Amino acid sequence: MTWTGLQQTSWGHSLLQRRLGPIPSQLSSWVRTLTGDAIPAFLNLKYGEAWMMSAYGILQVALLMYWTMEEGGVGVRTTGIAFGKAALTNLMMTYLPVTKTTLWVRVCGISFERAVKFHRQLSYLAMATMTIHLVCMTLKGPV
């Protein structure tokens, strides 16, 4: 099945074009403040985008668990090393969505503009994992 053939099927159209839900026009200000406008942003995702983000999140957690166990169990040092490896992985993956000819972005049906949004979210995740790595490695003390 070709790419255009997938787009023409009902399953392909649902995956590539339908959003997770209708965006509520009126949310209470306290709900928007509490969630950081996450509810409208989540409901604005297409099914393909949600699938890709979920798959990446599951892969990230699995790799963190593997790297922690590979280094010898849970501890400040091993957690710091695992988050350092995760930061490197996130930095590597940050630039993949913004190339215009990436196959996995096309398969998930994400436009270039929405891929830039995913690029920014990966950048935030990379910064968060680098910060956790820094804290863990600082807490462990000198080598």
31 and 80: one domain?
Answer: no
72 and 122: one domain?
Answer: yes
Specify the amino acid at residue 88: L
64 and 122: one domain?
Answer: yes
116 and 63: one domain?
Answer: yes
71 and 136: one domain?
Answer: yes
Share of the chain above pLDDT 90, in %: 13
Q: Which residue has the tokens 């297409």?
A: 46
CA distance readout (Å), 45 to 40, 41, 50, 141: 9, 7, 6, 42
Q: Backbone phi, then psi, for 19, in 5-degree steps? A: -95, 165
Cβ neighbours for 22, distance < 8 A, ≥ 6 positions apart:
43
pLDDT digits (tens, 9 = 90+) for 52-79: 788 888 989 998 899 888 878 788 888 8
Domain range for 103 is: 46-143
pTM of structure? 0.69
75 and 131: one domain?
Answer: yes
